[in-house]
Structure formats: structure tokens, C-alpha cells
Chains A and B, each alone.
Chain A
Amino acid sequence: MADDLQVIDVLDARVKRRGERRDFFKSAIGAAAVGAGMMAAGRPAFAQSVTDADVLNFALNLEYLEAQFYSYAATGMGLPANMLDGTGTQGGVVGGTKVNFTDPVVSAYAQEIAKDEVAHVAFLRSALGGAKVAQPAIDVGGTDPNGAFSTAARAAGLVGPGVAFNPYASDENFLLGAFIFEDVGVTAYKGAAPLITNKTYLEAAAGILAVEAYHAAIVRTTLYGKGIATPSLRTAADLISNARDSLDGSSDDDQGISPVGGLGGTGSNIVPLDANGLAYSRTTGQVLNIVYLNKNAVGMGGFFPAGVNGLIKTSANNA
């Protein structure tokens, strides 16, 4: 959905980000000891006008996206029509196709994750009741060279101009497609946790956060394991991580599956954490930078061609 100019912007930003990341790791050596000092520095204050329902609806948009992708990949079909209605403009899905899995273990993982993501949609819709947003327009197609997956893959350098990236074409492509989303879900729920005022919602959100991290670990562990025999798979995951990092601003809050800090060799980085051993946070604006595939402040794009529904719908300005 992004035009060529935007893709070039993303690519330029990626090169810039590599430099920033190098600088970051240079200065971060020994930073673990800083510990709580970093915590005390805190994060920018959030607008007081954001309600719990706004935050949960923001999450629901992301769950629609994940659930549609995994449902198509695992079953060849999208979510049932009775799980899509709500406030805002209901949109259609540029859908995908059932992956013809060759590894039964990867097939089992896809089935399991699809079930969890559909349960998250049902749970959030139920929790929000009449306040729930409708599914916005979603692009999880695999054949359009200008579709969201292709644009994301091109920004990461995985495919060239005019070439589609089809996450339904193989086990490997499916894992890379899944990789685009999973860690983002973790950072989104972690970033949203302090915004939630009701303790019951908070614990439920923590439960979804944990599940997204389990999912991310499945995908990362499997990519890493297969990457031993097929190094390009590992490289591709690292490039996707860099592309995400290039979209969401100057902070380094993303890591590939190869070791950070130049360990090299066969080292792993299954768990993306800061120097204190904590997962990263993203603001809602940063999350939207990634799913809109745009580092500017915009209201739509990428996987959400008409934007997400609800009050929180504008990406951060990282230009």
C-alpha cells in the first residue's frame, strides 16, 4: 500500500538506524549497572484522556490483524462475520491462503497460535461489550507486490521492487511473516500496561502480553533452529527487526535473533531484552508506525489501509 517514495524513506531510515544502533551498543556497554537509575528516569507522561476502553480497543485492532493472518495461514479462512462488527467503519480483508506446510511441527504451531489469537479477539470484544470497535480494513494478502507484507519485506531488503513477498508460500515465509508481528505485540502490551487503570483489565492484559511473548518465542526459536541449516533465514529475521527499528523512532527497542553486541558465530538472541533483562515497550504511536509501515505521523497505511478504529489511531512522528 505504501508508494515507492515511502519505501525509499524506510530504506534510508534503516541505514541510519544501523548507525544509531551501533552507537547505542557502544555506549550501553556496562550499562546494566545503571539499573534502577534508568527506571527512575521514567517515560514521558501520557495524556490523561486515554481510557481503559481506548487502550483495549487499540489492542483489539492489533488482534484482528494477527487473528486474520494466522487464520488464513492455518485454515485458509478468515474470522467469522459475527466477530467483526462494532463501532467505527467495518472494513474488509485482503486475505491470504492456507499455507501448504511441509514441517508438521510448524503446522501445529500455526494452528495453536491461530486459536490463541482468535480467542484474544473474542475475549477483548466480550470485555468491551457495546464499546468494541469493528474490524478495520486489513491487508494480509500475499500476492500484491504493493501489499503490506511485500512493502514490509521490501523495506527489510528481502524482496526487490515489483516483487511480492508471500507469507503463505512456505513454512519459512510463514515464520518470517509471523515474526513481523509477534514481538510488536509484546512491546505494545508492555507499553500499554501503565496506562490501564482498572486492576482486572490490567491482569487480563498481562495475560495477553505473556501469550504474545510465548508466541514470539515459538517463532524466534523455530527461525533460529532452521537458520542453523539455512543461514539466510536468520539474516532475514534480523533485517525485519532492523526495519521495525527504523520505523519507530530513535530508541533501539527491537532485536533480531542473532546476538547483539557483536558476539557473532552461532550465538542466539531468542529473547529481545534491554541491558536490565527487561522486554521493550512501545507507545501506541510507535506500534502504529510499524503496522502502518510509516515513520511519519499518519492515520493509515500498511496492514491497515484505512487506519485502525477507535480514538488511538495516529502513528508517531519519527521523521
Chain B
Amino acid sequence: MIEQTKALALIEATEARRADRRRFLTMAGGGAAALGGLALLSGCGGDNGSSSSMPPSTPTPTPAPTPTPTAVTDVDILNFALNLEYLEAQFYSYAVTGASLPANQLTGSGVQGGVTGGRAVPFSDPVVQQYAREIAQDETAHVAFLRSAIASAGGQAVAQPAINIDGGMAGAFTAAARAAGVIGPADTFDPYASDENFLLGAFIFEDVGVTAYKGAAPLITNKTYLEAAAGILAAEAYHAGLVRTVLYRKGIASPTLKLIENAGKISDVRDAVDGPDDLDQGIASPDGGVTSNIVPTDANGLAFSRNTGQVLNIVYLSKSMLSSGGFFPAGVNGTLRVSAAS
């Protein structure tokens, strides 16, 4: 789905991001201890979630209020999340069963699209297969839950948009893997080909879900939906922790698989498309090293946030302001559908 020039642009952006990250890490050394007080927290409230550049400040008892866009409703946010859950649920559903979500889980407002690609993974490690089953079940539950929750909020759930989870030459996974340098510019990446490829395919999504729900949390006004979103956030973080732990363990045991190195490259490409802030980390520290980095956190030990535009940069596989691309060839459904100009 991605033409050659776009893939090349992504690769260039990745290289620029590596340099950015090196500079960031140099500047951020020991930064946690130097920063003080509530100003630190206020720094986390912005759209980009980067707190480390905030200047030191005297603690004050009342934090600055965070401006919230008024036009975005809870239903808009839940529908944005539903698009992402369709993508995850279809990927895991195909990987585990070879089949799509049931047709009655795909209807709704907007243009309903089909799924391109996807097939059952011939798992060789029964433990990885079991993990895939478990995650597929959870993601399918998230689709059902969000559809139901949106209806009960008086809204209409969006239909599943067109989704590309193909493992072939024209697949979004191949475009992502090429951009990351996990494969060569003419090679194919098939996440259904092996346990290892499946884990790397899963890795592309999971941390993004965490940052998306964290970024959306302050935008949700209804406390019940907020707590539910926190429950999905936790589930995505459990999934991400599971995938990262298995990749790291297998990567240490079999260095020739280059799992740690490739996870680092995927992290870099995510970072490359979502703007100048460093919001992503591989599974070892430094990238390709042997010290584990299962938990991607900032200097304060907090997970990162992405705004909706940054999330779309990643699933559209573009750092430009677009309304379709990558895993969503016709764009997502709903009001939040444009990626950020990063």
C-alpha cells in the first residue's frame, strides 16, 4: 500500500530520529533528580507527553489546568479507540484462527471496509500459540465492549474501516518492516510466517495502544468511561509486557534471530513518524544491548502518551498529515481521522 518513495522517506526520518534520540538521551541524563515539584506534572499534560524538557520550578499547591479541546466528545474518543481495536482484533484473530471477527461485530456508521490479508500462524512454540489465543480473546472482547459502551453512551459505533494486515509484498506489515530496516527494501515481511515474525508483528501495535489510551485519558469526561478506558489501557500494557518479555527472552536465547535488534528498529520507526519527541523504546538498553528494557518509560518512570494524530502517524505509516494509509488504506472511521504533521 505504500509506494517506494514513502518508504524511503520513512527510512530517512528514522535516521534523523536516531540522531534526535541520541541528543535527547545525552541531555536527559540525570534529569529526573533535577526537576522539581508540580511543574513536572504539568509538563505531562500536553499533547506530546514529554516532561523532560520542563525547567525546574518551585512546587506550588495548585497545578495549572490542562486545556482540553472542547469539540471532542467521549463518543469520538471511544470510536477512535474502536478503530484501533478492530485492527488489533483482526490481526490476532487471523493469526490464531485464520478467520475474521464475526460479521455482526463489524457494522456501524461510516464506510464499512474489508480486511486484506491475514492467515493462521503455524506456531511451533505452544506457549507462544497460547499467548496469541489469549490476546486474541482480549482484543475481541475490547471490540464488543466498545461497541456496546458507545451505544449506551447514546452514540453510534463506527463500522470497521478497510484494514490491511496482509503479509505479502503489498502489505502494510511489509511497508512497516521495510521502513524499519527489519527487511531489505525489496523484501517481504509476513507476520504469519513464524512465531518470531508474529511476535514482531504484535510488537508493532501493542505499545502504541498503551500510549494512545494514556494520551486519551485526560480527554474523557465521563468517569465511568474513564475507568473503563483505564481498564483497557492496563490490558494493552499487559499485552505489550507479555510480547516484549517473550521477544527479549527468545532474543537472548537465540541471538541469531536478531529479535532484540529488530524490535529496536521497529521502535525507531515508530518514533520517526510521530514527531520530534522521544516516545518509544526498544526492548533492550541501549537498542541492541543486553540489559532489558521491557518497560518503556520516561525518566519519571511513567509510560508515554501519544495524541490521536501521533497514533495515526504510526498506523498510517506516515509522518505527514493524512487521512488514510498503511494499516487503514481508506482511513479510520469517525471524527478523529487525520494524522499529525510530524
For B27, list chain A residues within 8 Å (CB): none
B330 CB to nearest chain A CB (Å) = 26
Would A200 and B64 count as touching, CB distance under 8 A? yes
B153 CB to nearest chain A CB (Å) = 8
Q: Which residue of A lies closest to B245 (CB)?
A: A221
Whole-angstrom distance between the alpha carbons of A122 and B217 in the complex?
23
For A49, list chain B residues within 8 Å (CB): none
For A116, list chain B residues within 8 Å (CB): 295, 297, 301
Whole-angstrom distance between the alpha carbons of A253 and B230 in the complex?
15
Would B233 and A200 count as touching, CB distance under 8 A? no
B75 CB to nearest chain A CB (Å) = 12
B55 CB to nearest chain A CB (Å) = 14
Q: Which of A245-299 contact B (CB under 8 A)?
A: 266-281
Would B68 and A109 count as touching, CB distance under 8 A? no
Q: Which of B9-62 contact A (CB under 8 A)?
A: 32-33, 35-38, 40-42, 44-45, 49, 59-61
Chain A interface extent, by class: 35 or more
Known contacts A116-B297, A203-B305: A109-B292 contact under CB 8 Å: yes
Question: B226 at the A/B interface (Cβ < 8 Å)?
Answer: yes
Question: A32 at the A/B interface (Cβ < 8 Å)?
Answer: yes
B residues contacting the other copy or chain, number (CB 8 A): 87
Task: Choose one: B152, B217, B241; the contact of A221 (CB below 8 Å).
Answer: B241
For A105, list chain B residues within 8 Å (CB): 248-249, 252, 292
Question: B242 at the A/B interface (Cβ < 8 Å)?
Answer: yes
B253 CB to nearest chain A CB (Å) = 9
Known contacts A218-B245, A277-B145, A279-B235: A193-B297 contact under CB 8 Å: no
Would A276 and B126 count as touching, CB distance under 8 A? no
Known contacts A211-B302, A218-B294: A39-B228 contact under CB 8 Å: yes
For A220, list chain B residues within 8 Å (CB): 238, 242
Q: Which of A174-204 contact B (CB under 8 A)?
A: 186, 189-191, 193-194, 198-204
Would A211 and B295 count as touching, CB distance under 8 A? yes
Whole-angstrom distance between the alpha carbons of A278 and B48 in the complex?
26
Q: Which of A41-67 contact B (CB under 8 A)?
A: 42-43
Q: Which residue of B lies closest to A67 (CB)?
A: B301
Whole-angstrom distance between the alpha carbons of A179 and B145 in the complex?
28
Known contacts A119-B299, A217-B242: A203-B234 contact under CB 8 Å: no
Segment with Cβ contacts to A, from B135-143, B263-271, B332-340: B135-143
22 A–B contacts, CB within 8 A, in A order? A105-B252, A127-B40, A129-B37, A190-B234, A199-B68, A200-B66, A201-B63, A206-B213, A210-B303, A211-B297, A213-B241, A215-B295, A216-B238, A218-B295, A220-B238, A270-B238, A271-B134, A272-B238, A273-B231, A273-B235, A276-B141, A280-B231
* Residues of B near any A CB (own CB < 8 A): 32-33, 35-38, 40-42, 44-45, 49, 59-61, 63-66, 68, 126-127, 130-131, 133-135, 137-142, 144-145, 147-149, 151-153, 210, 213-215, 217-218, 223-228, 230-235, 237-242, 244-246, 248-249, 252, 290-305
Given contacts A203-B44, A213-B237, 13 further A-B contacts (CB under 8 A): A32-B141, A112-B292, A113-B295, A126-B37, A129-B37, A204-B44, A207-B300, A209-B237, A210-B210, A221-B131, A221-B245, A221-B246, A228-B127
* Residues of A near any B CB (own CB < 8 A): 32-33, 35-37, 39-40, 42-43, 104-105, 108-109, 111-113, 115-120, 122-123, 126-127, 129-131, 186, 189-191, 193-194, 198-204, 206-211, 213-218, 220-222, 224-225, 228, 266-281
